[in-house]
Amino acid sequence: METAARRGALAVAARAVARRLNADHTDPAGPTLPCRCGHTAHYAGRKAKTVLTALGELRLERAYYPCNACRSGFCPRDRVLGVDGVSLSPAVTRMVGTAAARVSFAEGSALLGALAGLPVNAKQVERTAEALGREIAADEQQQVVPAEEAESAPPLYLGMDGTGVPMRKEEVEGRPGTQADGSAKTREVKRCTVWSAEGRDTDATCSAFARRVEREARRRGVDRANRRAVLGDGAPWIWNIAGEYFPAAIQIVDRFHAKAHLSGVAKVIYGATSDLGAAWAKARHDELDAGQLHKIVAALATHSRSCPDASKRDEIRKCIGYVWGNRRRMRYPAFRAQGLCTSTAVVEAGCKVAIGTRLKRAGMHWTVRGANAIIALRCSKLSGRFEDFWERRAQSRVAS
């Protein structure tokens, strides 16, 4: 009964809104208007179009200006209402964005039907969400307003890492990867999570990515933080960005990653299931926590000398390089004494939340264009900027 009543009430409301909009004939702005192609379009009476709104379908009649030169046409009213070239109203577009940021396009379509009673098929959800994501990505590049004073509680952390997103075949053709035959199945999404000790927030391409990190840091009040720290897994690009954009920031290799690295080498040395390997790794972890990096390097060097397998020796030497090369970034006792966070659990969690749960689900294969758009959409939601975006979007429409 309630569902039927809602349907009925919405239908009444939809008719009332349609009547009001269709009674307003102020939209023909003269017999001719300039077309986007540069030629002149001539008024040709009113034309009807069906738009899906939060109230259901609306039949809109609006002044139509066809252009003979480019064989297309436009309606000034559509631009005012935000339905130019699309059949979904802004409110429905926003619902689509909310759903598609969280779940797959097919699931989003099902949710819109079940919760809002709106028939939007999966393909339409995909097209609409990707167009919206591109709009949000463009908007994000324009908006660098620093956070309110109170929001930037120092120290401010910048945690960076990368994660592979499964791609469609054509997107990875000819690209080197980690598959057995040397091919690639994924492409890397670089991420930066900006957080302070009190609160945290997530946000998600190399120079474009560096500029994105810088914008986000400015928004979060990086200039006012009394201490800055960049946390990473040890990938060189992270330190390059840190050195270039945040030279004063303390660089820290995520302790969790450093330990995972040592555990990995333990498996190389002792085999994947050896209890000796586990004990060896535990001893190295303790040395790491205690800041005894020279002991770790000594233990690794012993194995690299005695190991008969050349490829294993190579792995061990790489690990020595990792530890020694990052020694200044692994002074954990000193960092702890300064009250600094030394683990990127926040980044890891952020990576999973921002990318994994939406883009790396079973059977998903992305185009670069599609993945970029949906990541922008999802990060806008997760960073609490979705509402601001819609406010700006509505304002820009009023202004035009």
* Cis status, amide bond into 155, omega within 30 of 0: yes
Tokens 């914008």 appear where?
A: 215
Comparing CB distances to Zn ion, the nearer of 74 and 280 is 74
Exactly one of 35, 229, 281, 354 binds Zn ion (CB under 5 A); that residue is: 35
Q: Is 276 in the site for Zn ion (CB under 5 A)?
A: no
Size of the site for Zn ion (CB under 5 A): 6
SS3 152: coil
44 binds Zn ion (CB under 5 A): no
Q: Are 262 and 282 in contact (CB under 8 A)?
A: no
> Toward Zn ion, which CB reaches closer, 35 or 347?
35
Beta carbon of residue 66, minimum distance to Zn ion (angstroms, whole number): 9
Q: What is the DSSP string of 4-62?
A: HHHHHHHHHHHHHHHHHHHH------SSEEE-TTSSEEE---EEEEEEEETTEEEEEEE
Q: Which residues pair with 193 in a beta bridge?
A: 159
- Least CB distance to Zn ion at residue 37 (A): 3
Give the residue with the Cβ less far from Zn ion, 77 or 257: 77
- Contact region for Zn ion (CB under 5 A) — 47-55, 63-71, 75-83, 344-352? 63-71
* Nearer CB in complex with Zn ion: 84/309: 84
Q: Which amino acid is at 395?
A: Q
Stretch that binds Zn ion, among 33-41, 50-58, 199-207, 337-345 (CB under 5 A): 33-41
State the nearest-atom distance from the C-beta of 60 to Zn ion, in Å: 22
Is position 69 an interface residue for Zn ion (rule: CB under 5 A)?
yes
Shortest distance, CB of residue 73 to Zn ion, whole angstroms?
Answer: 8
177, β-bridge pairs: none
Task: Tell me how many helices (H) and strands (E) the chain has.
Answer: 17, 10
Q: Of the two residues 73 and 164, which places its CB atom closer to Zn ion in the complex?
A: 73
Name which of residues 238 to 257 contact Zn ion (CB under 5 A): none
Least distance CB 135 / Zn ion (angstroms): 24
> What is the CB-side half-sphere exposure of residue 108 using CA atoms within 13 A?
26
Phi-psi category of 163—alpha, beta or left, where left has phi over 0 and alpha has psi -120 to 50? beta
- Out of 11, 16, 70, 334, which residue is the one contacting Zn ion (CB under 5 A)? 70
Question: At 175, which amino acid appears?
Answer: R
Judged by CB under 5 A, which stretch of 34-42, 176-184, 211-219, 305-313 contacts Zn ion?
34-42
Look up residue 87 and give its DSSP letter. S
Query: CB under 5 A: which stretch of 69-77, 121-129, 227-235, 266-274 binds Zn ion?
Result: 69-77
- Give the residue with the Cβ less far from Zn ion, 69 or 260: 69
Give the position of tokens 């001539």.
42
By C-beta, is 33 or 349 nearer to Zn ion? 33
Stretch that binds Zn ion, among 13-21, 61-69, 170-178, 306-314 (CB under 5 A): 61-69
Count of other CB atoms within 10 angstroms of residue 113: 13
Judged by CB under 5 A, which of 12, 16, 37, 260 binds Zn ion? 37
Would you tell me how many other CB atoms lie within 10 Å of the CB of residue 144? 12
Closest approach, Cβ 42 to Zn ion, in A, equals 11
What string of DSSP letters covers 36-47?
TTSSEEE---EE
Among the listed residues 51, 55, 60, 67, the single contact to Zn ion using CB under 5 A: 67
- Positions of E strands within 167-262: 186-196, 228-232, 250-253
Question: To the nearest whole angstrom, how small is the minimum distance from the Cβ of residue 83 to Zn ion?
Answer: 20
Interface positions with Zn ion (CB under 5 A): 35, 37, 39, 67, 69-70
